[in-house]
Amino acid sequence: MRLEPIANPTLTRRVLPPALAIAASFAVAAFLAMIAGGNPFQVFGLIISGAVGSKFAVLETLNRATPLIFTGLAISVAFRAKLWNIGAEAQLYMGAVVTVVLGTGALGLPGWLMLPVLAVLAVIAGGVLLLVPAVLKTRLGVDEVVTTLLFNFIFLLFVSYLLEGPLKDPLGMGWPKSARLVPEARLPRIVDGLRLHWGFGLALIAAVGIWVVDKFTTLGFEMRAVGQNAHAARFAGIPVNPVILKTALLSGGLAALAGFSEVAGLKGSLTLDLSPGYGYTGIVVAMLALLHPLGVVAAALFVAAIFVGADSMSRAAGVPTYLADIMLASALLLTVLAILITKFRVRRD
Amino acid sequence: MDIVEILFSASFWAAAIRIASPLIFATMGELICERAGVLNLGIEGIMVAGAFAGWIAVWAGLPLWGGVAIAMIAGMGFGALHGVLSVLFGLSQHVVGVGITLLATSLTFYTYRVALPEVSTPPKIEAFKVLEIPLLSDIPIIGQALFAQTPLTYLAFGLTGVLAWTLYRTPLGLAVRAVGESPASVAVQGLSVAAIRMGAVIFGSGLMAVGGAFLTMSAFDSFFFDMVNGRGWICIALVVFGAWRPGKALLGAILFAAFDAFQIRLQQTGIGVHVPYQIFLMMPYILSILALVLMSRRAEVPAALMVPFNKGER
Which region among A77-81, A86-90, A168-172, B112-116 has the lowest average model confidence (pLDDT)?
A: A168-172
Of B100, B276, B288, the CB nearest to A150: B288
Summarize pLDDT for B212-228 with one digit per residue, the tens.
999 999 999 999 999 99
pLDDT at site A143: 86
Region B271-295 average pLDDT: 84
- B90 to chain A: which residues are within 8 Å by CB? 3, 340
From its phi and psi, is residue B230 left (phi > 0), alpha (psi between -120 and 50) or beta?
A: left
Summarize pLDDT for B6-29 with one digit per residue, the tens.
777 888 889 999 999 999 999 999
Share of chain B above pLDDT 70, in %: 98
- B281 to chain A: which residues are within 8 Å by CB? 157
- Spatial separation of the C-alpha atoms in residues A327 and A323, rounded to whole Å: 6
Summarize pLDDT for B231-242 with one digit per residue, the tens.
999 999 899 889
**CA quadruple B16, B18, B24, B29: dihedral positive or negative?**
negative
User: Distance (Å) from the C-alpha of residue B281 to the closest C-alpha of chain A?
Assistant: 7
- ipTM of this model? 0.91
> Which of B95, B225, B241, B280 has the most A C-beta neighbours within 10 Å, making it the best mutation to test the interface with A?
B95
Are the Cβ atoms of A337 and B312 closer than 8 angstroms?
no
CA B165 to chain centre: 19
Whether the pLDDT of residue B312 is over 70: the answer is: no
Element holding B192 (H helix, E strand)? none
pLDDT at site B66: 97
Region A249-259 average pLDDT: 98
Region B36-45 average pLDDT: 96
Longest dimension (CA), chain A: 71
Summarize pLDDT for B74-131 with one digit per residue, the tens.
999 999 999 999 999 999 999 999 999 999 999 999 999 999 987 788 899 998 988 8
pLDDT at site B109: 96
Are the Cβ atoms of B117 and A136 closer than 8 angstroms?
no
Whether the pLDDT of residue A251 is over 60: the answer is: yes
Alpha helices in B36-147 (DSSP H): 43-59, 64-83, 93-115, 142-147
**At B199, is the secondary structure helix, strand, or coil?**
helix
Region B297-308 average pLDDT: 81
**Contact A244/A252 with Cβ under 8 angstroms?**
no
Summarize pLDDT for A321-335 with one digit per residue, the tens.
999 999 999 999 999
Which residues sit opposite B148 in a β-bridge? Answer: B132
Q: φ and ψ at A344, to 5 degrees?
A: -125, 155
Q: State how far the alpha carbon of A100 is from the alpha carbons of A92, A123, A164, B90, B306, in Å.
A: 13, 14, 14, 44, 41
Summarize pLDDT for B121-166 with one digit per residue, the tens.
889 999 898 888 888 888 877 777 788 889 999 999 999 999 999 9
Residue B151, classified by CB atoms within 10 Å of its CB into exposed (0-12), middle (13-18) or buried (19+), is middle
Residue B196, classified by CB atoms within 10 Å of its CB into exposed (0-12), middle (13-18) or buried (19+), is buried
- Spatial separation of the C-alpha atoms in residues B48 and B210, rounded to whole Å: 10
